[in-house]
């Protein structure tokens, strides 16, 4: 026993050292590797495979034939695809602009001293917690033509029944209201968090110089929030352009988006192409076009929002 | 301190690696093991549908009792066929696994799936061709695939009747007895006239529920009476614009609309459901499975308010399913046995008793229990008799490969005309054009 004692730690000593070296050099890579592995499996591979499929006439339990860019040229000359693109952009503009402005206003209001501040701040986030589908189901009832609550209210003011699904603008309005109901609070909380990091002395100095609260808001708060505004615009762009659940539920769970595709978004067009048309090639090509569209719109938004400047 | 810290980090590393491995394993997990240790065969039966679906809950134990050594794993995979079960089934067929041993196929998809003969087991080799005389010719022929082999056998059939609200008929001064009501409308012209007499006399209630219910009832009946073609010919050509049955049904819906007889609701929508409950309309074209829908939507308070009369024009069918055995099944012989049982008299009558699915086989439809069946919710209407008669005189309709996709879109156009998105003048042109667009999107 006594002779063995010194030799025992000798073996693990070098092993431990090796392990220690691995911990120092390899550990960071090992720790971030799950993200990259998962991204490769669930992000990169599908992206590449989708591109491959989009260059084929590809049917499940059917032919897989190379067709080059045929699917893309079909889409670019397809009336229904352009209609879906227009709807997507239309609903995006109609929902995002009021949503972000409203969120700014709410955040600025919540940034003031008030009673029950915590309860109100939590309350504004509540719609986020509800499921998209539940929201869409409830709103779809509210926007019913014959038995809906909104038409009943309009009726009290002597306005005729609006068929919310029959035309583009009413249906876009209805869908935008669902999106805004859910996401305005989320953006407001993000803005609020950012507002609280703005140094107080900026406002104090402005107040001493005689700037009105309104002027302080536009010339201090908004410019200081710029990085956060860019972030929310990016997130809203991605969410808005891949819009699917709300318009689908609004149209009784169908992918057609109304009788003439009044509110069919590109995401719905993609799902319709492979679920109902069994045309995976076309769906894949449309998905790639949507991807490019998001990049372009995000870039435009970035350039636009980047122009926000305050006088310093 | 140093060692504890190190151990903690090592544990973290191990956990991270384990998570990666687990994620990989989830991605690869698959496979239905269908052979038990005792040499017993378990057949996977994949079906779809809302409510009681195929209604096999009672008959499968009977099958298992009669066939020791075979167990059946009866699954209802999804509620809807067209946009849920059908794509899933295509995925299974392509992947070569997952479809199980017996699958259900609905009327809308039978054309598309029978156009893929390489995926279906020839049921003739298990002697199922002997069943031919037990089925109406059309039901049998739809289960024959593109190679001419027997790939699927019929389960149920929709049939066609006309459901009506007795309370609304009474308000409008119309007879309420089902024999008298049936006598009011031997033809569609008579049906329109009854509607005109009804209009405005029962408050705000409209005569007919939805443009597309009545469109389907009329179109399938007209097609059956003619050559059985609707949107596609047997070679897959798009003939929607040239089919008289389609045009007749389309024009009929427009006529009903111009006379103000349609409630104009989208079928299957919440408003349509609400209309049944609140008495928003007086009639609905009724395949046998529709009785369950009406009962579910109208609720207990309307029990006895609904009744069932015969449909104008006499016959008709809407819906119905088949069972087939995919070639990927490892137990095709036992699977064929299950198909034979479920599509046979005992299986079909059992499903009828459980869920009201009307038997498509001659022996099932003429069974004394089926014939004597009455529906207590619908004022004790003799539904067995009514649907039996409508199925007996029904003529076959052919469904092309792309039928369900075209159908989904052209029915939207009809609704669009009713809602005012399209004018009545541009309606037919739009109807033809949008159907064609679908064919293009499907790859011609």
Q: Which helix (H) or strand (E) holds B294?
A: helix B290-298
Q: Is the dihedral of CA A267, A270, A274, A278 positive or negative?
A: positive
Nearest to A247 by CA among A97, A94, A51, A47: A94
CB B386 within 8 A of CB B316: no
**Distances from the Cα of B259 to the Cαs of A284, B53, B181, B262, B399, in angstroms?**
46, 37, 21, 8, 31
Q: Which of A54, A146, A251 is most worth mutating to test chain B (most B CB atoms within 10 A of its CB)?
A: A146
Is residue B256 very low, low, confident or very high in pLDDT (cuts 50, 70, 90)? very high
**Of A145, A146, A259, which is closest to B421 when you measure between CB atoms?**
A259
**Distances from the Cα of A52 to the Cαs of A41, A45, A69, B311, in angstroms?**
16, 10, 11, 52
Structure tokens at B216: 């389907």
C-alpha to C-alpha distance for B387 and B357, rounded to whole angstroms = 11
**Of A30, A78, A146, which is closest to B271 when you measure between CB atoms?**
A146
C-alpha to C-alpha distance for A292 and A5, rounded to whole angstroms = 67
**Distances from the Cα of A163 to the Cαs of A138, A155, A262, B101, B270, in angstroms?**
17, 13, 12, 47, 14
SS3 percent helix, strand, coil of chain B, rounded to 5, is 50, 15, 35
CB B231 within 8 A of CB B249: no
Write down the pLDDT at residue B8. 44
Nearest to B230 by CA among B213, B251, B245, B249: B245
- DSSP reduced 3-state for B161: strand
Residues 6+ apart with CB under 8 A from B210: B262, B263, B264, B265, B266, B267, B272, B284
Beta carbons of B270 and A20 less than 8 Å apart: no
B205 and B127 in a common domain: no
A163 interaction partners in chain B (CB closer than 8 Å): 419-420
Residue of A nearest to B108 (CA): A276
Length of chain B: 444
Distance from CA of residue A60 to its chain's centroid? 30
Structure tokens at B207: 């005569």
User: What's the pLDDT tens digit per position in B271-318?
Assistant: 888 899 999 999 999 998 888 889 888 989 999 999 999 999 878 888
Is A37 at the interface with chain B, CB within 8 A? yes
Q: What backbone phi and psi angles, to 5 degrees, belong to B367? A: -60, 140
Is A275 at the interface with chain B, CB within 8 A? yes
The strand ranges marked E within B17-61 are 41-48
Beta carbons of A167 and B421 less than 8 Å apart: yes
C-alpha to C-alpha distance for B429 and B241, rounded to whole angstroms = 9
DSSP assignment of chain A equals: -TTHHHHHHHHHHHHHHHHHHHHHHTHHHHHHHHHHHHHIIIIIHHHHHHHHHHTEEE-TTS-EEE-TTHHHHHHHT-HHHHHHHHHHHHHHHHHHHHHHHHHHHHHHHHTS--TTHHHHHHHHHHHHHS-HHHHHHHHHHHT-TTT-HHHHHHHHTTPPPP-TTTSHHHHHHHHHHHHHHHHHHHHHHHHHHHHTTS-HHHHHHHHHTT--HHHHIIIIIHHHTHHHHHHHHHHHHHHHHT--HHHHHHTTT-SS-STT-TT--HHHHHHHHHHTS--HHHHHHHHHHHHHHHHHHHHHHHHHHTT-----
B338 and B269 in a common domain: no
> Per-residue pLDDT for A7 more than 80?
no
B406 and B261 in a common domain: yes
Query: How many Cβ pairs closer than 8 A exist between chain A and B?
Result: 116
B415 interaction partners in chain A (CB closer than 8 Å): 259
> Per-residue pLDDT for B227 more than 70?
yes
Domain A70-305: CATH superfamily is: MetI-like (1.10.3720.10)
Write down the pLDDT at residue A11. 54
Highest mean pLDDT among A216-220, B104-108, B244-248: B244-248
Taking the CA of residue A174 and the nearest CA in chain B, the distance in Å comes to: 17
Write down the pLDDT at residue B25. 42
Is A257 at the interface with chain B, CB within 8 A? no
Beta carbons of A145 and B17 less than 8 Å apart: no
Is A147 at the interface with chain B, CB within 8 A? yes
Is residue A309 very low, low, confident or very high in pLDDT (cuts 50, 70, 90)? low
Cβ burial, residue B283 (10 Å; 0-12/13-18/19+): buried
More reliable by pLDDT, A231 or B393: A231
ipTM confidence: 0.71
**Distances from the Cα of B106 to the Cαs of A184, A190, B90, B298, in angstroms?**
44, 50, 13, 26
Average pLDDT for chain A: 88
Write down the pLDDT at residue B38. 59
Inside any domain, residue B375: no
A166 interaction partners in chain B (CB closer than 8 Å): 416, 419-421
Q: How many CB atoms lie within 10 A of CB B352?
A: 24
Specify which residues B232 forms β-bridges with.
B238
B278: domain range?
A: 161-315+384-441
Beta carbons of A33 and B20 less than 8 Å apart: yes
B108 interaction partners in chain A (CB closer than 8 Å): none
CB B5 within 8 A of CB B17: no
> Per-residue pLDDT for B39 more than 90?
no
Residue of A nearest to B266 (CA): A252
C-alpha to C-alpha distance for A154 and A136, rounded to whole angstroms = 21
Residue of B nearest to A147 (CA): B271
C-alpha to C-alpha distance for B9 and A23, rounded to whole angstroms = 8
Beta carbons of A278 and B90 less than 8 Å apart: yes
**Distances from the Cα of A214 to the Cαs of A43, A190, A210, A220, in angstroms?**
45, 21, 11, 10
Residue identified by tokens 């992947």 is: B95
**Distances from the Cα of B411 to the Cαs of A271, B405, B421, in angstroms?**
19, 10, 13
Beta carbons of B268 and A59 less than 8 Å apart: no
Nearest-10 Cα torsion for B77, B79, B82, B87: -30
C-alpha to C-alpha distance for A112 and B156, rounded to whole angstroms = 67
B191 and B114 in a common domain: no
B62 and B99 in a common domain: yes
Structure tokens at A60: 């499940």
Residue of B nearest to A81 (CA): B441
The percentage of chain A sitting over the pLDDT mark of 70, rounded to a whole number, equals 95
Average pLDDT value for residue range A10-29:
80
B389 and B423 in a common domain: yes
B327 interaction partners in chain A (CB closer than 8 Å): none
User: What's the pLDDT tens digit per position in B151-188?
Assistant: 999 999 998 999 999 999 999 999 999 999 999 999 99
Structure tokens at A171: 């249906």
Average pLDDT value for residue range B38-56:
86
Three-state helix/strand/coil letters over A92-156: HHHHHHHHHHHHHHHHHHHCCCCCCHHHHHHHHHHHHHCCHHHHHHHHHHHCCCCCCHHHHHHHH
DSSP assignment of B180-193 equals: HHHHH-SSHHHHHH
B196 and B261 in a common domain: yes
Cβ burial, residue A32 (10 Å; 0-12/13-18/19+): exposed
Q: What is the DSSP letter of B133?
A: G
Q: Is the dihedral of CA B203, B204, B208, B213 positive or negative?
A: negative
Write down the pLDDT at residue A307. 80
Q: Which of A259, A280, A284, A285 is most worth mutating to test chain B (most B CB atoms within 10 A of its CB)?
A: A259
Average pLDDT value for residue range B332-339:
96
CB B296 within 8 A of CB B52: no
Q: Is the dihedral of CA B380, B382, B384, B390 positive or negative?
A: negative
Average pLDDT value for residue range A279-306:
92
Q: Which helix (H) or strand (E) holds B220?
A: helix B211-225
User: What's the pLDDT tens digit per position in A108-135?
Assistant: 988 888 888 888 888 888 888 888 888 8
Number of domains in chain B: 2
- DSSP reduced 3-state for B53: coil
Q: Which helix (H) or strand (E) holds B292?
A: helix B290-298
Write down the pLDDT at residue A195. 92
User: What's the pLDDT tens digit per position in A235-256?
Assistant: 899 999 999 999 999 988 889 8
Inside any domain, residue B370: no
Taking the CA of residue A124 and the nearest CA in chain B, the distance in Å comes to: 30
Domain ranges of chain A: 4-54, 70-305
Q: What is the DSSP letter of B308?
A: E
Is A252 at the interface with chain B, CB within 8 A? yes
Highest mean pLDDT among B76-80, B91-95, B423-427: B91-95
Beta carbons of A274 and B23 less than 8 Å apart: no
B269 and B170 in a common domain: yes
B309 and B324 in a common domain: no
C-alpha to C-alpha distance for A3 and B206, rounded to whole angstroms = 102
**Of A254, A259, A279, which is closest to B443 when you measure between CB atoms?**
A279
Task: Note which residues in 60-119 of chain A have CB less than 8 A from chain B.
Answer: 60-62, 74, 78-80
Residues 6+ apart with CB under 8 A from B431: B240, B250, B410, B413, B414
B246 and B259 in a common domain: yes
DSSP assignment of B363-412 equals: HHHT-HHHHT--BTTTTTB-HHHHHHHHHHTPPP----TTHHHHHHHHHH
**Of A30, A78, A281, which is closest to B16 when you measure between CB atoms?**
A30
B304 and B182 in a common domain: yes
Is A209 at the interface with chain B, CB within 8 A? no
Is residue A3 very low, low, confident or very high in pLDDT (cuts 50, 70, 90)? very low
Inside any domain, residue B32: no
A260 interaction partners in chain B (CB closer than 8 Å): 412-413, 416, 421-422
CB A248 within 8 A of CB A255: yes
Beta carbons of B269 and A38 less than 8 Å apart: no
More reliable by pLDDT, B15 or A155: A155
Length of chain A: 312
Write down the pLDDT at residue B408. 83
> Per-residue pLDDT for B98 more than 80?
yes
Residue of A nearest to B9 (CA): A23
B23 interaction partners in chain A (CB closer than 8 Å): 34, 37-38, 41
B398 and B331 in a common domain: no
Write down the pLDDT at residue A135. 87
Domain of B59: which CATH number?
3.40.190.10
Taking the CA of residue B110 and the nearest CA in chain A, the distance in Å comes to: 14
Q: What backbone phi and psi angles, to 5 degrees, belong to B234? A: -65, -20
Taking the CA of residue A241 and the nearest CA in chain B, the distance in Å comes to: 22
Average pLDDT for chain B: 88
Q: Give the strand order in the sheet containing B70-78.
A: B70-78, B41-48, B102-106, B320-324, B152-157
Write down the pLDDT at residue A16. 85
Taking the CA of residue B401 and the nearest CA in chain A, the distance in Å comes to: 11
Taking the CA of residue B149 and the nearest CA in chain A, the distance in Å comes to: 18
Nearest to B399 by CA among B76, B110, B47: B110
Beta carbons of B93 and A258 less than 8 Å apart: no
């Amino acid at each position: 026993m006594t002779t063995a004692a010194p030799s025992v730690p000798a073996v693990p000593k070098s092993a431990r050292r090796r392990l220690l070296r691995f911990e120092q050099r390899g550990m960071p890579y090992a720790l971030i590797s799950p993200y990259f592995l998962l991204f490769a499996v669930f992000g990169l591979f599908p992206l590449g495979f989708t591109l491959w499929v989009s260059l084929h006439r590809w049917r499940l339990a059917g032919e897989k034939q190379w067709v080059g860019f045929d699917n893309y040229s079909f889409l670019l000359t397809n009336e229904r695809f352009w209609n879906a693109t227009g709807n997507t952009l239309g609903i995006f503009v109609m929902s995002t602009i009021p949503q972000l402005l409203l969120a700014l206003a709410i955040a600025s209001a919540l940034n003031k001293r008030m009673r029950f501040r915590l309860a109100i701040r939590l309350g504004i986030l509540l719609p986020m917690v509800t499921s998209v589908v539940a929201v869409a189901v409830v709103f779809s009832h509210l926007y019913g033509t014959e038995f809906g609550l909104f038409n009943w209210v309009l009726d009290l003011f002597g306005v005729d029944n609006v068929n919310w699904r029959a035309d583009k603008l009413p249906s876009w309005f209805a869908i935008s209201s669902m999106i805004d109901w859910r996401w305005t609070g989320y953006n407001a909380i993000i803005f609020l968090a950012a507002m609280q990091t703005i140094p107080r002395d900026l406002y104090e100095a402005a107040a001493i110089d005689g700037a009105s609260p309104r002027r302080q808001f536009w010339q201090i708060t908004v410019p200081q929030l710029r990085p956060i505004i860019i972030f929310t615009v990016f997130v809203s762009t991605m969410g808005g352009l891949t819009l699917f659940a709300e318009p689908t539920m609004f149209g009784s769970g169908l992918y057609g988006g109304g009788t003439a595709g009044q509110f069919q978004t590109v995401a719905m067009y993609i799902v319709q192409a492979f679920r109902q048309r069994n045309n995976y090639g076309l769906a894949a090509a449309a998905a790639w076009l949507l991807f490019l569209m998001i990049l372009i719109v995000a870039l435009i938004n970035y350039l636009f929002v980047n122009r926000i400047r305050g006088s310093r | 301190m140093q060692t504890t810290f190190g151990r903690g980090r090592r544990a973290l590393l191990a956990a991270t690696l384990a998570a990666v491995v687990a994620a990989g394993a989830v991605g690869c997990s698959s496979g239905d093991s269908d052979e038990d240790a005792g040499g017993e065969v378990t057949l996977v039966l994949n079906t779809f549908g809302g409510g009681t679906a195929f209604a096999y809950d009672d008959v499968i134990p009977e099958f298992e009792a009669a066939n020791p050594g075979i167990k059946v794993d009866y699954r209802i995979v999804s509620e809807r066929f067209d946009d849920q079960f059908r794509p899933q089934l295509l995925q299974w067929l392509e992947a070569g696994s997952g479809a199980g041993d017996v699958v259900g196929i609905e009327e809308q998809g039978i054309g598309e799936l029978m156009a893929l003969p390489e995926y279906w087991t020839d049921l003739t080799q298990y002697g199922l061709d002997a069943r031919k005389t037990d089925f109406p010719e059309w039901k049998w022929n739809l289960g024959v695939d593109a190679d001419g082999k027997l790939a699927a056998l019929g389960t149920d059939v929709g049939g066609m009747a006309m459901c009506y609200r007795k309370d609304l008929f009474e308000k409008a001064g119309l007879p309420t007895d089902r024999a008298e009501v049936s006598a009011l409308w031997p033809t569609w012209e008579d049906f329109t006239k009854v509607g005109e007499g009804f209009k405005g006399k029962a408050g705000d209630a409209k005569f007919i529920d939805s443009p597309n219910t009545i469109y389907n009832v009329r179109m399938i009946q007209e097609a059956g009476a003619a050559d059985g073609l609707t949107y596609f010919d047997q070679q897959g050509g798009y003939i929607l614009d040239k089919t008289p049955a389609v045009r007749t049904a389309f024009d009929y819906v427009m006529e009903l609309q111009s006379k103000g007889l349609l409630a104009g609701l989208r079928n299957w929508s919440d408003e349509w459901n609400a209309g049944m409950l609140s008495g928003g309309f007086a009639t609905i074209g009724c395949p046998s499975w529709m009785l369950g829908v009406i009962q579910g939507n109208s609720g207990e308070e309307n029990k006895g308010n609904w009744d069932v009369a015969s449909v104008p024009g006499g016959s008709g069918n809407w819906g119905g399913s088949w069972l087939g055995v995919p070639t990927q099944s490892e137990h095709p012989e036992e699977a064929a046995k299950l198909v034979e049982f479920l599509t046979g008299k005992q299986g079909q009558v059992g499903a009828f008793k459980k869920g009201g699915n009307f038997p498509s086989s001659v022996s099932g439809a003429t069974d004394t229990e089926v014939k004597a069946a009455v529906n207590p919710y619908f004022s004790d209407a003799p539904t067995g008799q009514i649907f039996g008669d409508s199925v007996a005189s029904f003529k076959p309709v052919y469904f092309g490969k792309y039928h369900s996709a075209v159908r989904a879109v052209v029915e939207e156009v009809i609704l669009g005309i009713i809602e005012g998105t399209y004018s009545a003048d541009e309606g037919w042109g739009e109807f033809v054009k949008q159907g064609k667009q679908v064919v293009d999107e499907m790859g011609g």
